[in-house]
Amino acid sequence: MKIKNLEANNFYSIKNVKLNFESYDGLVLIEGKNLDTGDSNGSGKSSIIEAVVWGLFGKTIRKSNESALINISNPKNCYVRMQVDDVVIDRGKKPAYLRIWINGEEKTQNSIINTQRLLEEHLNTNYKIFLASTVFGQENNIHFVGSTPEDKRTIIKNFLDQGQLFEYRESVKYLKSEFNQEIKNLEAVINEYDRTISEIDDKIINLEKLKKELTDEFDEGVLSTPFDEVVKEEREYHNLVSQKENKEYSIRSLTKKLHSIENSIKNPKDSCTECGKPLDNIQEHLAKLETNRDKIIEEIELEKRELSKIKKKIKSPKITSSDYKKLMHFQNLKKEEDTLELIRESSVDKMDAAYQKQKEASKSYDIMRFWEKAFSESGLVRFLIRNILKYFNDRTNFYLSIFLEVSST
């Protein structure tokens, strides 16, 4: 925070003064002369500092009342006007008012209290911090040691002009919180994937048991047979069995007929066994019977040969259509197992990726923890204080020697 200029009017013993602080370099010694006593005490040197404090905060160091604050020679038009950084302040008494401009734009609020709050927020300071960090004198009873931790932090920040370090710390704290939340989120994701993989493993184990039960009953090659092929094979089997039964029935019928003819040949009768009429020529009748017998024998042999061929073709089906539900169940189990394997593989890959992200987030979190401490009062701020302490003491002693020399003359 840099005070650029100051104008005080009818303030304490000051009738009117205008100061441009940008015209001065280094340490400035203000000498005063009291026209009544002839020395410097009571000459109004402290009033300049009081004007700065009052202009900024509407309060004075020495806790003066209104009658002491306003110049007794001219009790009207008491004001302090000043510029601090990019802020122009105009504060008056009788009547009381406070107006501010920030970057040339008026930001005066609806009351002095609200305008003061905005001013302090913009300058990032307050009355207590300003006195503890900037003003040193016998009238100032606010000290760094007695300040709150938050006030101490702000005092150090303003005193060393290291506000950026504290801004970095806030940024780092935000990033640390973000990485910590990311770690927790990824932990939840990893646990979810781990739970999914465990459930899939249990399902795969159960599927393997069911598959084993089916493979113990059926060959795996049979279990992979398409349904159309099962139906076709079963139909062919039943068709061949039907043909076999027909041939066996035909052979039995022909054999029975053959036995009847042979009995008729062995024991010829005078009448026809079919119509019962008397036979005129028995020999001719026997010849016909023998001819029929030979034909039947040929037919029986032919049927037996065909039956033999049919029997060779007959093979029991690998699986019946009634058992196909088991086959379908096996195939569904295989598909489900394949799907579960794909899901498991994908879950493992995603869990590995989440582990990697969590590892990176943990590394970033540790880095942010380091920089949070580095940007804290116990880190770089302490380092800066330790490194400038000797220089500060040397400069203080140097200027004190000048003050002592001036005061002794």
Confidence of residue 86 (pLDDT cuts 50, 70, 90): very high
Q: What is the DSSP string of 327-380?
A: HHHHHHHHHHHHHHHHHHHHHHHHHHHHHHHHHHHHHHHHHHHHHHHHTSIIII
Asked if residue 317 has a cis previous peptide bond (ω within 30° of 0), the answer is no
Task: Decide if 296 contacts 254 (C-beta within 8 A).
Answer: yes
268 pLDDT more than 70: no
**Average pLDDT of 99-110?**
94
Number of domains in the chain: 4
Read off the CATH number of the domain in which 44 is found: 3.40.50.300
Residue 357 counted as domain residue: yes
Task: Decide if 8 contacts 54 (C-beta within 8 A).
Answer: no
Q: Among 270, 301, 317, where does a domain finish?
A: 317
Residue 142 counted as domain residue: no
339 pLDDT more than 90: no
The answer to whether residues 285 and 395 belong to one domain is no
143 pLDDT more than 80: no
191 pLDDT more than 90: yes
SS3 291: helix
Q: Please list, in sequence order, all residues whose beta carbon lies within 8 angstroms of the beta carbon of residue 299, skipping any fewer than 6 positions away.
A: 254
Q: Please list, in sequence order, all residues whose beta carbon lies within 8 angstroms of the beta carbon of residue 308, skipping any fewer than 6 positions away.
A: none
**Average pLDDT of 84-90?**
94
Q: Give tens-digit pLDDT for 9-57.
A: 988 878 888 999 888 876 677 777 777 676 777 667 888 888 999 999 9
Residue 314 pLDDT: 82
Residue 223 pLDDT: 60
The answer to whether residues 215 and 231 belong to one domain is no
Residue 16 counted as domain residue: yes
The answer to whether residues 365 and 397 belong to one domain is no
The answer to whether residues 9 and 87 belong to one domain is yes
Least confident residue range of 68-72, 79-83, 250-254: 68-72
The answer to whether residues 68 and 9 belong to one domain is yes
Residue with the two structure tokens 């905060």: 57
Strands ordered across the beta sheet of 97-102: 14-20, 3-11, 78-84, 87-93, 97-102, 105-106
Range of the domain at 84: 3-123
Confidence of residue 401 (pLDDT cuts 50, 70, 90): confident
SS3 43: coil
Residue 143 counted as domain residue: no
Residue 146 counted as domain residue: no
Average pLDDT in the chain: 80
The answer to whether residues 58 and 191 belong to one domain is no
For the chain, give the percent of residues with pLDDT over 70: 75
SS3 147: coil
Q: Give tens-digit pLDDT for 358-376.
A: 999 999 999 999 988 887 7
The answer to whether residues 338 and 210 belong to one domain is yes
Least confident residue range of 26-40, 191-205, 254-268: 26-40
The answer to whether residues 389 and 362 belong to one domain is no
Read off the CATH number of the domain in which 259 is found: 1.10.287
For residue 370, which amino acid is it?
F
Task: Decide if 64 contacts 56 (C-beta within 8 A).
Answer: no
Q: Beta partners for 97?
A: 92
Residue 35 counted as domain residue: yes
